[in-house]
Amino acid sequence: MCATCGCGQPDAPPGGLRTRMVALERDVLGRNDAIAAQNRTVFDLDRTFVVNLVSGPGAGKTTLLCRTLEALRGKLPLGVIEGDQQTSLDAERVRATGVPAVQINTGRGCHLDAAQVAAALPALPDLRGGLLFVENVGNLVCPAGFDLGERARVVLLSTTEGEDKPLKYPDIFAGSQLMLLTKSDLIPHLDFDPERCMALARRVNPSLEILSLSARSGEGFGAWLDWLARAR
């Protein structure tokens, strides 16, 4: 048996095997991108505005989300897809606001992908004309590369994380339309320079919109709700 390809022919002569090169252009992430495009088509047809919330762990995505849902509840259809390695703690916090939530547990996975979002949709109620929030796994690196089919990607950075994060993790800031500088109520207790942080973020994404707010105190929250209303 040929040791090279396992066929029944004797081993090839030392001159080597003939090969040919097939030229092509195939995106390695093409499969995810195709599913994301399908998701986007469905969302557009249903007039569902989809927001992909990304950040490092602990930046305040769930707290911001719950306060947002409480403000919008009853005004339009709302739904949430939660992504975490383990537990349904975040989905439970969302459901406590009265809004339906689907929890995806990624296990060892570090980001959500378009297929997971597509699979979660049937478990949500009718969101036509409404808002779907996807709270991604807390991670400033990997979610940057995975289109979910969202209309807007919003990156949260908290004042306790350090103002140089946009330079250190450029891809996720470059791929977002809006940055929310969260926990602004803590600024008096920190050596954090918000202006420098925003300037660094604009270096990696000149068209990034930036809002500073606190989901705890409510400062700046109106501007975030206004942004959502305008973006829809």
Among 115, 142, 190, 231, binds other proteins (CB under 8 A): 142
Q: What distance, in Å, lies between the first and last C-alpha atoms of the chain?
A: 64
Q: Which two tokens stand for residue 61?
A: 């995505």
Q: Does 171 bind other proteins (CB under 8 A)?
A: yes
Among 118, 174, 190, 231, binds other proteins (CB under 8 A): 174
Among 71, 115, 190, 204, binds other proteins (CB under 8 A): 204
SS3 211: strand
131: β partners: 49, 78
Q: Does 230 bind other proteins (CB under 8 A)?
A: no
The C-alpha atoms of residue 178 and residue 111 are separated, in whole angstroms, by: 19
Among 145, 217, 218, 226, binds other proteins (CB under 8 A): 145
The C-alpha atoms of residue 122 and residue 128 are separated, in whole angstroms, by: 13
CB of 190 to other proteins, least distance (A): 23
Among 1, 9, 44, 58, binds other proteins (CB under 8 A): 9
Among 85, 100, 106, 110, binds other proteins (CB under 8 A): 110
Q: Which segment (38-46, 53-61, 140-148, 215-223) binds other proteins by CB under 8 A?
A: 140-148
Q: Does 6 bind other proteins (CB under 8 A)?
A: yes
How many angstroms separate the Cα of 90 from the Cα of each of 39, 102, 189, 227? 23, 10, 28, 24
Q: Which two tokens stand for residue 133?
A: 């929030």
Which uninterrupted H or E stretch holds 30?
helix 30-46
Determine the size of the site formed for other proteins (CB under 8 A): 35
Q: Which segment (11-19, 37-45, 77-85, 176-184) binds other proteins by CB under 8 A?
A: 11-19
Strands of 95-223, DSSP E? 101-105, 131-135, 152-158, 178-182, 209-212
Q: Which residues bind other proteins (CB under 8 A)?
A: 5-7, 9, 15, 17-29, 31, 110, 141-142, 144-145, 166-167, 170-171, 174, 200, 202-204, 206-207
